[in-house]
Amino acid sequence: QQIGSIINLAHNRVKKCKNEIALALTGDWREEYIFELKQSYELYQYLQKKIQECDVEIKNNLNKESRKMREKMAKRDLTTLLLKS
C-alpha cells in the first residue's frame, strides 16, 4: 500500500513502468543482509558511546589544565605586583 502511494508520486518523465518502480522499492530482506545491518548499527552505537567518553575526558582535562594555567597566571601577576611595590 505504501509503495503504491510512493509510485504515484513518480514524475511523469520517469521511463520505468509502475511494476519496475515497485520492484526497485521492495527490499531484499535476506538474512545475511539483516545480520550485517544489525552488526553495523551496534558497532555505530558502540563507537558513538566511546566518542562521548573521549569528549568527556577531553573536557575534564582541558578544565584541569585551564585551572592550572589560571592559578599560574594569578601567582605570576601577584609576584609582579609585589616586585613593583
Q: What is the pLDDT of residues 11-49, one digit of tens each?
A: 889 898 888 888 888 877 899 999 999 999 999 999 999
- Site of grid cell 575534564: 60
Q: Which pTM was predicted? A: 0.54
Query: What is the mean predicted confidence (pLDDT) over 58-75?
Result: 92
Q: How many domains is the chain partitioned into structurally?
A: 1
User: Range of 11's domain?
Assistant: 2-84
Contact 25, 7 (CB under 8 A): yes
